[in-house]
Every structure is written in structure tokens, then in C-alpha cells.
Structure 1
């Protein structure tokens, strides 16, 4: 096949050659914080239906044997590596609380995959951190390369969030396996060929299979990395450079400049948004704005006559007086999440229990949340704004039953790179999840201490085993 560029080789050489010492200190610090945050929200999802289904499926199909074993976070004992990866990655996304890159939720891939593999292989903390950062940098460039054009209507024409997600697993897995440049070239090719199709039906029908996809892509990406290291892949070279390659396979989108964008000097890792709330990313700012106003004025749900928000957000105003039919349906609804915040208190799985999704009081309150119908941010606009380093600004007006009117506005939600989490906030995320999962105080505190000192750990086994209940 005619080779037009050399990007696959360049990315392969970068990831194969990346050393811990090459990575800036602020990026390493952020990787440790994101580890603590992601593990915490995964623990919080321990008993959600998607996670329990993933556990039973892993047990039925993978058994309990095998040399490579890893901890299933928030449960007793270990499982075969692929089973642990499947469950931990599913759990990382189930509450939609982990992260947001402007390309999706890569953390649900690279944190569970890297930590589970590092445990199974008894790798040091520096190797883990290098795989997390390097794997993401390659993932993000490939994801940016095949993003749809600026005028693409994501709501009507679909968005392949799970399409490129598999690279968030295979790339760090390949790094931990020690793949050389040629093996990485083949691994990138195999990952492209194992890519999920654009799954519009999941979003149209609000299926919770959405969360399980992260488990499947992580498991498949890990398997492909093992095949690459064993020399079991062939004739899949240069998928990013040849006619009929990855861009052709993914609807023909091909954004010049992304695959080699400041490779090795610009770390896009610092652009990841840590989610403050268990909800879709475009629900984060309205929730933060409501939280700020409630803390300032002390009102309760019973005091509220109406909440008005501008701008509106495409496909984030879902409301059905009969109730919400899935966890995802609630997570993607601003009216629902604001009402869950006011009536269910502390964020966590209780926001999305079957009882909450059909609670008459919650639905009544959600019906009084009004989104601006004249000024609506299209999803493509939202992502363009985030990609450019900013975020859509939200204005909120709360009318109380006594006639009082409260106004607030907010642009950068907590966790955005311009309003970042500090160590205490990451620790809080972890403690919330640890408490929900039933992790004891001794293991909770030990995990926090080890996570803060990740780069000095000689073997990540102890860190991972802190997560066993």
C-alpha cells in the first residue's frame, strides 16, 4: 500500500522510548491525583447494576485461575488480569464521575488498565506513571486526528466516543509490556482494526451498556498489547499513514496536525478535566453553579419555585414526568441531576438508584428546571470551546417560593484545568468512594499515602491490594 506519511512510526518511537525522567513534574503530579480520583469514583460504583453484571460476566467467562492476577477494586480477592480490567474499567465510568478529555473518558481505560497490569506484573510506580502519561498522549493525538468536522451535528450524526477509547487501553498496556517500536506500530494497527463502530443507538436509547463499553474496550486493548509483545500480530503496519488506513475506516475524518502535535514537548495530559459530580460533563457547570448559590443562601429543595438556566445544552434537557429509564438517562439530564443534588444530598450511587429515577418528588422538582430554548449550545460548539482551553459559561436564576430571586453565573467548573483539584479534593473523592465500598480506614489512609508517593514505589502490588474489601 502507498505510504503517505510516517506518523505511526513517530508515535511508536515516542511511546517506546519515553522515560519517566522525560515527563515534567507537574504532569506526574496530575497523574497521581487522577489515579486517586478515578479509583475513588470506581469504588463508589461498586454495587451499581453495570458493575455487578460485569463481575458476574467476568467470573462466568474467565474463571478464577491464571498466573496474571489483579485486584478487583472494592471486592474480596483477585481475578484473572482481563477480568479485573473489565470490571475496574466498567466501574470507572459507571457513575460518569471520572474525567473528561474533549475526546471522551480515557481515564476509564488508562487508569484501570495500567494499575491492574502494573499489579499483575509487579511493576514499579515510575513504570505505571510513564505508561499512564505516555499512553494518554498517543491516545489523545489519534483521537484528535479522527474527530468530526466543526459543523458536525453530534446529536443527529453521532459521535464515536467508544471508537477511539480502545487506544486508551492498548497504548499504556503496550508500554507496560515493553513493546518496541515495531511492535507498537503493529499494535496501533491492530487497535484500529479492533475499533468499535460509532454507537449512536446507545445514546439515542440511553442504554447503560454505554458504561460496559469501557470494560470491553479496556479488555480488548490489553489483549492486543499482549499479542503485540508476543509477536502474534502481522501485516498491520502504518495504519495512520496509508491509503485506506484509520481515517478512511472512521468515516474519512482526517485532522491535519494532530498526530505529530508537539510530540514530546506538549503534554495534553494537563488538559484533562476531573469531574466534580457524577454526571455528564455538560452538567458539571450547572451543578457547581447551583452548589455555589445554595451554599451562599442556604435554601432547600422545598423553597424552590423554579430554576432557569441559560444557555440550554443540546440533548441535556431530558425530562419525562413518568421517570428516567436508565442511569445514563439521568446522568445526561441537567434537570434530573440538579434535582438529585437537592434531594439526595452527597453525590454517589444514591443519585441514580431505581427509586430515585422514578421518585415523584424528584420528578416534580426536575419539571421546574427550565433550560433556555432560544439560546442553545450545540454539542459540537461545547467541545470546540473545551478543545480551545475554555468552557461554556452558565447563568442561573433561582426563584424561591417567597418571591426571592437569586442569580449566579459560572464558567469553569471545579476540576477544569483553569479551576483544578488540589490534593485535598482528590483525597475527598477517594474517601467518598472508599466509604461507600466499605474500605476500612487503615486501607483508605494507606492507599492515600502510597498514591502520593507513587513514583517511589518499587512494586504496585501493595497499592492495589489496599483496594480489596
Structure 2
């Protein structure tokens, strides 16, 4: 079987057969993109070491049984499922992790924790994690072609639904399951997948990534043990696609290469909901080009697609979790500072008077239902207009945010993000050690990386 068989599969059976027979992936660009995703996700996990959602999941995981796997914020060895859940929750807790547009998921926040936990248990090398990550992302693209954006627009949190299935495929690939068990792993995952966007702005939203990672591990282990499931759970009136608002039962992609290369991942420039990012990019760019300050602004108006508009539900956020899903708050910050950082989403930061004052001048408009009729959430541009007190008017439309393959994060942006995530958590020596391990992950055993996460507990970060 070849990569093209995987990409062009019509059914789950075809995909499973192609994935299980696919030789080790040697595509250099695909492996480099996957390694970058791993590095970005590890930084996000460490950044959330003391987040309340991380702490609650940690306490629960420790009290539900021990194992031999490592996870952030605890030195206690956990079960594989618990480690995946804890790291997955941490990866998504601060909403700084990447987006994956073909499936409208936070793909890496689910895939990386799944593979770290299972890979440590199975004592595999980093090269196997990269290989399995690419396959897990590929089935998300395959399923996204049948379901996006309808599934997401309907209110499903695709990170928790499609993400669960991607995690099961990645885990099956890591375990080298034959095609029958590979298919069963994904089919079992269909029965474990769930999650609504109603949880945006709550602790349970990042928990979705943790639950998806845990379910991916569980589904693959059940399949390995011999659990059987429907061979084509995606198809028909009771199939996953139809039941979850998919637009068609089968889809053939025109891609000729792995999705991690052709579609790419959207790294986040700002630690908040991606639905706001194009408007924030516009504000930052206009501010830089025209040199105005917050005191000069009369009004900020931004028009965004309907699904984005509904995601940004909190015009008057009461806490840092709601602030991550607030256009008014994030836009005011962008206008005042020219950037957003993790410190802007701490409890005491949300009620700062200058920010609240400028929030009253921000208006977000819904572009209407036609803005959701494309194949992805960023097919329709975001249009932002800033009016100054002196009568000046500046406008900018942006289709793809900074961080996508069309406008990658700059080296400076990447360095700023890594420092924002780990700068207050690790010493200089520890940061360099972490960078070295991640950079050379393909040549190391996974337990070298997961061992760092185990040591990086809330009370031991400086001793990594």
C-alpha cells in the first residue's frame, strides 16, 4: 500500500487496510511538520502545569489508579489512559495549541498526548510517534472531508468527536495493528466520541481534548485485545457521518500528499479562540502601519463568519476562561498592546480598567449564514475597520490568519510563544535541555521526553 491509497480511500475499510500496510513514513516535509507540532504542543502542556483544569484532572487521575506512564504536574506514574487525559487537558487548557482546518479540530492537543502515553508504555522511539501522528492526522482529514464544516457549525466540538477517531487511528498505527483491528479501533472510538461547543468558556472545553486522547488509547487497546465492532461505522443512516451532521457519506480528496504538508497546521499566534485571530491580526497590522494608540481610537468594528461569531460568546467576560472566547476583550488588548500573551488570561487581568474602557468601543458583527457555506471556517474573510477620533478610517480584510501555511509564524513569533509558555516555568538550562530533546526526538526514546514532563510538576519545575 502507498500513501496515495490512504489519501484516496472511499471507506473506513480501505483506509484501515492502507494505513496498516503503509511502510514507515519517510516524507521529510511531513515529518518536519509533525515534529514542529510536537514541540508546540509540549510547550502548551508545560504552560498549563498549574492551570485549574489541569490540577483537577491531575487529582482525579492520581486517585483512579497507578500505572507506569508520565504526565505533566505529577511525579506519580499513571495509567496510560490517565496520562493521555491529563496531558491532553493541559495541552488545550490555555487555547494556545494549534488548529487543524480540514477537520476543524485542535488536532495536536489530542494526538500528541495519546502517542506520548502509549509510546511510553510500549517503549517506542520518537520516530514512531512522528509516523503515527501523521496517520492520525490523515484520518481526521479523511473524515473532515465528509463532515466539515457542517459538523462543527451544528455545534459539535470536533476536537472531541473527530479528534477521538484520529487518536484511535494514531494509537492503532503506533501499535501496528493489522487492518481488521485497526478498523475496530476506529469503530470503537465512534462510540466514545462526543462533545458540544456549549462547553466553550468552561474547564470542560479543554477536558474534551483529554477525553479524546484517553478514548483513543482505550479504543486501540480494546481492539488489540480482540473487541469487535461494526466494520463500516461511518456509513448509512445510523453511521457516524449522518448522525453527526456530515454533508455526505463518501468523499474523495484531490490531495496527492499527506495533509500535514498540503493543508498544514495553524499554529496559534495568540492564546485565545482562533475565531478571533484574523481580526486581531488586522488590528495589530493596522496599529503598526499607522502608528495610532488606544487613546486615538473612536471605534473598532469587525465582521466575521457566523460560526466564528457564535464561538465568541462573551462580550462581557467574567473570568479568564470566558475572555478567551471574547472578541471585545481580545480586540481591546490587541489595540492597546499590539500583542496578546498568557498573562492577559489570568484572573486579575480580565478586569483591568483600560481594557474594559476600550472594550466598549469594539463591535463584532455576524457576516450571515452564507459565510458558513464553504468547506472550512476561514473560507470567508474577516473584515475589520478602525475609526480614529480625528476622522481617519482604516480597513483590512484577512482570509488566512498568521500561523497557517499561507502566513507561517515568524522565527520571532515562535521564540516569543515558546518563551511565553515555558519562560516562567523552566530555568534557562532546563529550557535548552527541553529544546534539545524535542529537536532530536526522532533519535530518542519517548521516555526521555515523558520523563521531563514527569519531573515538571508544579513544585519541581526548576529541577528538571
Instruction: State the Cα deviation string for residues 88-143 of structure 1 (Å, max 9, x = none).
Output: 11111122221222222121110121123223332112111000001110122123
2:136 is aligned to 135
User: Where does structure 1 lack aligned partners over 5 or more consecutive residues?
Assistant: none
On the 8 A contact 1:6/1:238 being kept in 2, the answer is no
Which of the numbers 215, 218, 222 marks the counterpart of 2:217?
222
SS at structure 2 position matched to 1:307: strand
CA 1:396/1:377 → structure 2, altered by over 3 Å: closer, same or farther? Answer: farther
After TM superposition, give the deviation of residue 36 of structure 1 in Å: 1.2
* Separation in 1, partners of 2:394, 2:117: 47
* Separation in 2, partners of 1:188, 1:294: 47
1:116 is aligned to 117
Which of the numbers 421, 444, 452 marks the counterpart of 2:439?
452
Which of the numbers 183, 204, 209 marks the counterpart of 1:209?
204
Instruction: State the Cα deviation string for residues 287-314 of structure 1 (Å, max 9, x = none).
Output: 1122223333444434433222245653
* Separation in 1, partners of 2:416, 2:449: 18
After TM superposition, give the deviation of residue 195 of structure 1 in Å: 1.9
Which of the numbers 362, 380, 398 marks the counterpart of 1:410?
398
After TM superposition, give the deviation of residue 254 of structure 1 in Å: 2.8
Instruction: State the Cα deviation string for residues 181-213 of structure 1 (Å, max 9, x = none).
Output: 1111111111112221x625435xx43311111
After TM superposition, give the deviation of residue 433 of structure 1 in Å: 1.0
On the 8 A contact 2:342/2:420 being kept in 1, the answer is no
Which of the numbers 345, 351, 354 marks the counterpart of 1:352?
345
2:407 is aligned to 419
User: What is the root-mean-square deviation of aligned Cα atoms in Å?
Assistant: 3.0
On the 8 A contact 1:341/1:351 being kept in 2, the answer is no
On the 8 A contact 1:31/1:133 being kept in 2, the answer is yes
* Separation in 1, partners of 2:223, 2:404: 36
Aligned residues: 440
1:464 is aligned to 450
The 5-angstrom pairing of residues 4-43 of structure 1 reads 7-20=11-24, 22-43=25-46
1:238 is aligned to 232
On the 8 A contact 1:208/1:326 being kept in 2, the answer is no
Matched, 1:195 2:186: no
SS at structure 2 position matched to 1:99: coil
* Separation in 2, partners of 1:173, 1:187: 9
2:78 is aligned to 79
CA 1:76/1:145 → structure 2, altered by over 3 Å: closer, same or farther? Answer: same
After TM superposition, give the deviation of residue 220 of structure 1 in Å: 1.6
Which of the numbers 284, 292, 316 marks the counterpart of 2:277?
284
1:432 is aligned to 420
Which of the numbers 168, 171, 177 marks the counterpart of 1:170?
168
On the 8 A contact 1:185/1:237 being kept in 2, the answer is yes
On the 8 A contact 1:202/1:209 being kept in 2, the answer is yes
After TM superposition, give the deviation of residue 418 of structure 1 in Å: 0.7
1:336 is aligned to 329
* Separation in 2, partners of 1:242, 1:372: 38
On the 8 A contact 1:301/1:343 being kept in 2, the answer is yes
2:156 is aligned to 159
SS at structure 2 position matched to 1:143: helix
After TM superposition, give the deviation of residue 86 of structure 1 in Å: 1.1
After TM superposition, give the deviation of residue 78 of structure 1 in Å: 4.5
* Separation in 2, partners of 1:404, 1:296: 13
* Separation in 2, partners of 1:409, 1:379: 14
2:4 is aligned to none
CA 1:311/1:147 → structure 2, altered by over 3 Å: closer, same or farther? Answer: closer
On the 8 A contact 2:85/2:210 being kept in 1, the answer is yes
The 5-angstrom pairing of residues 243-254 of structure 1 reads 244-251=238-245, 253-254=247-248
SS at structure 2 position matched to 1:370: strand
1:107 is aligned to 108
SS at structure 1 position matched to 2:64: helix
Which of the numbers 294, 297, 320 marks the counterpart of 1:301?
294
On the 8 A contact 2:45/2:90 being kept in 1, the answer is yes
* Separation in 1, partners of 2:123, 2:291: 50
User: Where does structure 2 lack aligned partners over 5 or more consecutive residues?
Assistant: 1-8
* Separation in 1, partners of 2:212, 2:173: 17
* Separation in 2, partners of 1:97, 1:24: 27
* Separation in 2, partners of 1:92, 1:379: 30
The 5-angstrom pairing of residues 359-370 of structure 1 reads 359-370=352-363
On the 8 A contact 1:48/1:349 being kept in 2, the answer is no
Report the TM-score when normalising by structure 2: 0.84
**More off after superposition, 220-229 vs 74-83:** 74-83
* Separation in 2, partners of 1:221, 1:12: 15
